[in-house]
Chain A
């Protein structure tokens, strides 16, 4: 490859390479320093991340639309092809669900009556916000998604993110117009859960694979494969009973859980505010509260 002689390159070559090497090593050191800073001051790094994500959010919002439309078209074609079998399946489902509906009605009235007897106080009503997924960052290093709503829509740190199927994750970083959601499969995700049938408590720990594991189980706990896992409500971040997934494998590698929410199908999600206070408030908030409290 021919390099054209240029005036800027009159500077002595060895000095240039030396300077370049210094810049290179300096930047490597800077990257290490940033990693350490991320450990030491999580809030600062999160805020910086939120600003960058905010800045790119409009582009991501725009870029994610054609892919979503393409997916819709493919979905339509699939639906037309599978119309007959889908119809048969739905007929069967309907017959089965009608029976369940009868059961649910009976249980509901029974429940109402019993609540009346016990003078039961219901918890606060949950409120919903819907959002579109504009980025899905995966791979082996981290599992998170970015949503196209933010602080100005009333999202707060720690709120649950769900789909119709079950829990997706929790709000981890809130920017002005973007929200980062830590998926339940991420390495840093820890959620207190229950095995629905046996009421065994455990912690669902993400490990950057598609199937998070159950840890901190009581000794000799029975873990039947296929049992549903739901949130336990301990620690006060999520309310009890949000479905998460089913036990997929019991083996030497631990107990793995197959989540209900399909990550590749995430297009719209709901952010649910259960008015719970489990997540530590950020310092900014306490400052404001102190200001208004006087």
Chain B
């Protein structure tokens, strides 16, 4: 009886880690890095995390968790409330509807999928901000941000896959 309780608690804690990791990424993304020019092209860590978990473990990152992550990001980053939430929800929606094309494929397909999803989600974010502030926001930084995010995805993906092997594959 005791063992099963601890086992359940253990499993529950493990299942919470995708959400926890994504929250940590959101906080990490606003920590000042003191690297010249970095703040402008900082990678969208939360987008990577949401993409990754919704491809590999959508059950562990439910849609309301994505919403909460987006709102937290909005609050911390100072963007208009709801913008990042929408960006992440768009990414989440695209991945869930196209998941069968991504699952079980090689890493490059997953990466390509991320390239497309991130492009669409960031374009949606850009459009939202532009409409919200009734002006054309400069897209140059966004393009660099996209490239940095894309380039960093293999590293993050490797980390998450190791994490999955270590903590989530015992199910």
A residues apposed to B, CB below 8 Å: 1, 4, 20, 23-24, 27-28, 30-35, 37-39, 45, 48-49, 52-53, 56, 59-60, 63-64, 67-68, 71, 133-146, 180, 182, 186-188, 207-210, 262-267
Contacts and interface: CB of A to CB of B under 8 A. Distances in A.
B141 interface: yes
Interface of B: 27-42, 44, 63-64, 66-67, 70-72, 74-86, 89, 92-93, 103-104, 125-126, 128-129, 132-133, 135, 137-142, 145, 171
User: Chain B binding site: helix, strand, loop or mixed by DSSP?
Assistant: helix
Contacts of A67: 31-34
Given A27-B64, A136-B30, A141-B79, A35 B39 contact: no
B133 A188 contact: yes
Contact of B63 (A20, A45, A139): A20
A35 B82 contact: yes
Contact of B77 (A134, A142, A262): A142
Nearest to B38: A264
A217 B143 CA distance: 31
A250 B72 CA distance: 39
Contacts of B75: 48-49, 52-53
Given A23-B63, A37-B81, A139-B141, A31 B38 contact: no
Given A1-B104, A64-B31, A138 B76 contact: no
A209 B89 contact: no
A223 B155 CA distance: 47
Contact of B81 (A45, A63, A208, A263): A45
B30 A31 contact: no
A34 B40 contact: no
A82 B64 CA distance: 52
A104 to B, nearest CB: 32
B30 A140 contact: no
Given A24-B89, A52-B76, A137-B77, A187 B32 contact: no
Given A135-B76, A140-B141, A207-B138, A145 B125 contact: no
11 contacts: A28-B89, A37-B81, A49-B74, A56-B72, A67-B31, A137-B29, A138-B42, A140-B141, A141-B137, A143-B78, A144-B77
A266 B32 contact: yes
B31 A24 contact: no
B145 A140 contact: yes
B138 A209 contact: yes
B82 A38 contact: yes
